[in-house]
Amino acid sequence: MKLFIKKPIAQLMAASAETEKSLKRTLGVGSLIALGIGAIIGAGIFVRTAAAAGEHAGPAVTISFLIAAAGCALAGLCYAEFASMIPIAGSAYTYSYATMGEFIAWIIGWDLVLEYALGAATVAIGWSQYFNEFLTTFFNVHIPYAWSHSFMEVSNTSTGMYAAELGTRGIINLPAILVLFLLTLLLIRGTAESAIVNNIIVVVKVAIVLLIIGLGWHFINPAFHTPYTIPADAGKIKVSAGVVDYADTFNHGWLGVLRGASVVFFAFIGFDAVSTAAQEAKNPQRDMPKGILISLVFCTVLYILFSHVLTGLVSYKDFLIQGKEASVSYAIKTAMPGYGWLASFVTVSILAGFSSVILVMLMGQTRVFYTMSTDGLIPSVFSKLHPKFRTPYKSQWLFFVFVSLFAGFIPDKYVGDMVSIGTLFAFVLVCIGILILRKTDPDIVRPFKTPAYMIVCPLGAIICLCMIASEGWENWARLIVWLLIGFVIYFRYSIKRSHVRHGKVEAANNPINPKFVE
């Protein structure tokens, strides 16, 4: 049994040719960059910044962003080389298949479900909460607690929109399912149409982030940036989930900054989703590296500036005591007199940001499974394309149901924690994959080469492993259980139907019908 049988790169390249049965190439470099920004700027900048600063890093959350960005940038260089060299859907799964073999590729493909599918569920739950805040702010109405929360949740607040529903148990999170349904319809309609909507969303949310940075800079209080890291004697703070003790190892000092990096890493999840669209890019060899790296650099600069301003407006402790999930709005209302209108528009920006993240994650997941299906590792239903739109519509509907089960019935604290560790694991293997391929296939054409790969690849893997090491044991346990489920599926189903293992080559050399070319 050859667990590490590899898929020949020549076969991968043959599969990338556009035919009537393949994904349609509609994305230019601008759309790819916007796709990356759309995936990256979402929940992280508004929610994770305050959480990481309040619990672990304090004002030094800017350094946490730099650490997380460094890991992502190093991995991003590796992704860029792979995406230009192997321009087909599948992202890290496809790259691993060519470099480390089928078994590792399966692990990555299965692992990416944690990033994309559960990531979409987590963000959809957040979207539901802010949609209710939007309705309350602008229309003075809200969706009842029971119909906007999981059956595992009970209202415990005596203030705010749910004050009259204290003690009410949730039933189902309908707004979360609604946004998943609408975005699924959009993705089925076509990648180009989805990209247009995403571009509009990106403009809206980036504009609001820039407004907060530009206007808030003049209200920064230097006293809130001193000391820059949280001291060990900062005390304890009671929060809804228990007590945050700053004396704990990863809640102060530089180890707190490292833990903060693993928290804000969620804010970067999505840049790699650009690589899943390689088979829908018009000129992937030229445009994929640009799409990945430019979007990553742009968002990193915004994150650092935004976190510097936010932690300069109020004390980092306020993010846990008074701001909580609405910390950005709280900071604006508290420290920026006369700019209450900006706090209201933050809710609009968050809704827009969440929507684009969900859109890209749903697209990324179906593209990974599309490629796994064409390899025979999962059922063929995941690679069935719509006869008109040439999108994997059946797969899109199946993932809508799967993601909706989590978004509608499970609280975000159970699904959100699995996302970051799964993504970091994928990044580690991509970095290792470039090292392997440089040795095993040095002569292959590489339109983009990772610079100083002997330094970049190991360092990228090490930084990501350090962030994984700072995760709690609960996340490790969930990852292990998830992988064990994947092993059962692989050995019971996939290994018996693998096209590469059984010599089945998916030819993609049929001439394309002109009517499909735009």
Helices 284-313 & 29-40 angle (0-180, nearest 10)? 30
- Say which range, 11-20, 129-138, 173-182, has the weakest mean pLDDT: 11-20
DSSP assignment string, 13-56? HHHTS--TTS----B-HHHHHHHHHHHHSSHIIIIIHHHHIIII
Residues 339-350, mean pLDDT to the nearest whole number: 82
Under 8 Å between Cβ of 68 and 45:
no
pTM: 0.75
Q: Does 174 have pLDDT greater than 90? A: yes
> Among the residues of 232-279, which ranges form H helices?
253-264, 273-276
Beta bridge partners of 242: 239
Confidence of residue 511 (pLDDT cuts 50, 70, 90): very low
Q: Does 20 have pLDDT greater than 60? A: no
Give the tokens for residue 127.
């979207």
Query: Which residue ranges form the domains of the chain, and what is each CATH number?
Result: 9-502 (1.20.1740.10)
Residues 491-496, mean pLDDT to the nearest whole number: 93
Tens digit of pLDDT for each residue in 82-105? 877 776 655 678 878 888 889 988
Residue 187: C-alpha distances to residues 106, 155, 285, 363 (Å): 25, 34, 24, 7
Confidence of residue 292 (pLDDT cuts 50, 70, 90): confident
Q: Does 16 have pLDDT greater than 60? A: no
Share of the chain above pLDDT 90, in %: 24
Tens digit of pLDDT for each residue in 176-187? 999 999 999 988
Residue 121 host element (H or E): helix 102-139
Tens digit of pLDDT for each residue in 402-450? 999 999 998 776 666 667 777 788 888 889 989 988 988 888 888 888 9
323, amino acid identity: G
Torsion of CA 43, 45, 46, 52, to 10 degrees: 100
What gap in Å lies between CA 429 and CA 470, rounded to an integer? 18
Under 8 Å between Cβ of 314 and 167:
no
Query: Long-range contact list for 439-448, CB < 8 A, 24+ apart?
Result: 440/99, 441/9, 444/9, 444/85, 445/85, 446/81, 446/84, 446/85, 447/84, 447/85, 447/285, 447/286, 447/289, 448/80, 448/81, 448/83, 448/84, 448/85, 448/285, 448/288, 448/289
3-state DSSP assignment of residue 377: coil
340 or 412: whose pLDDT is higher?
340
Tens digit of pLDDT for each residue in 233-244? 888 887 655 678
What gap in Å lies between CA 210 and CA 205, rounded to an integer? 9
Looking at residue 279, its pLDDT comes to: 67
Residue written as token pair 């790969």: 453
Give the tokens for residue 247.
């004396």
What gap in Å lies between CA 459 and CA 411, rounded to an integer? 35
